[in-house]
Amino acid sequence: MLGSFFAAAQTLQNINKSTGTVSNAITDIDSIRFNESSASMEVVLQNGTVESHSIADIVNVKFASAGSNSCGVPDVHNTAKTYGSMSDQQGNVYKTIVIGSQEWMAENLKTDRYRNGDAIPRITSNGTWPSLTSGATCWMNNDSSANACAYGRIYNRFAVVDPRGLCPAGWHVPSDAEFSTLATSLGGTAQAGGKLKSTSALWLNPNAGASNSSGFSALPGGSRQFNSGSFSFSGGQGYFWSSTNFISNLNYYYALLANDAGFIRDFVDEKYGFSVRCVKD
């Protein structure tokens, strides 16, 4: 049985399709076969059910532990929590988590398209980034192979507030007030950080207070500097834009640090590059 072969190391089969992700527990799977006549992959379950997936619709198939994120980074999520799923306008799939009265993405946004399909410029030049006055995105250290799956994309705030919409339909970039609601539901900013941070080894030590008891599963995606375009703090800090302006070119964000259990609120120049978590409308 295929289930017994994989069970010791992996617990989930994720079929990532253009329409979303289909997951099965490894122990529920009897076999996987390919039907040449229908150009499909068939997953035969222990109960006799046969799931058929068109080869043309499949992006990839990954076997992962229950704590893995949607693209396979291990030990990110809280296996005691029940996660939902959503897709962005580009077809990227994310886990979601309900915390208090809110539903949040449990992974960082990866799209390089606005909601209407327009491309968000991908800026790799350090010299160009500080001079921008419109939306832009990049990968941490301009390295998608190392950072895309774990950390998602980095965005300047021009992209965050662009009227074409950064988050997919039914979701939006959280306001300062919505981040405050999140922190309050977890006991306040002084202790919320530990409850929001993943216990993943991607965090540098000591990853203070980290329990991921909320299921938010925050990772240390770092930032891009507003005045030099250089990258910093990957592994040690995670930054998340809010949609709320403080004054002039200064805008609120929230941060999580490897050496602090708090959920830190501050404001910075709009040309910084930070991660984005969408919250459900």
Read off the pLDDT of residues 180-223 as tens digits, 9 standing for 90 and up. 999 999 999 999 999 999 999 999 999 999 999 999 999 999 99
Enter the pTM of the model: 0.80
CB of 216 within 8 A of CB of 106? yes
What one-character DSSP code corresponds to residue 119?
A: B
Q: What end-to-end distance do the CA atoms of the chain give, in Å?
A: 43
Cis before 174? omega within 30: no
Assign 19 a pLDDT band (cuts: 50, 70, 90).
Answer: low
Closest among 141, 121, 99, 152 to 277, alpha carbons compared: 152
Cα–Cα distance for residue pair 34/40, rounded to 1 Å: 6
Tell me which amino acid residue 62 is: K
Q: What's the mean pLDDT when you consider all of the chain?
A: 90
pLDDT grade for 6, boundaries at 50, 70 and 90: very low
Any bridge partners for residue 268, and if so which? 251
Alpha-carbon 148 to chain mean position: 10
Determine the average pLDDT of the residues in 1-16.
51
Which of these, 22, 72, 19, 275, lies nearest to 167 by C-alpha position? 275
Identify the CA nearest to 140 among candidates 158, 157, 122: 122
Q: Which residues pair with 95 in a beta bridge?
A: 85
Does the pLDDT value for residue 9 go beyond 50? no
Domains of the chain, by residue range, sit at 2-64, 85-280
Contact of 44 with 31, CB cutoff 8 Å: yes
Please state which CATH number belongs to domain 2-64: 2.30.30.100
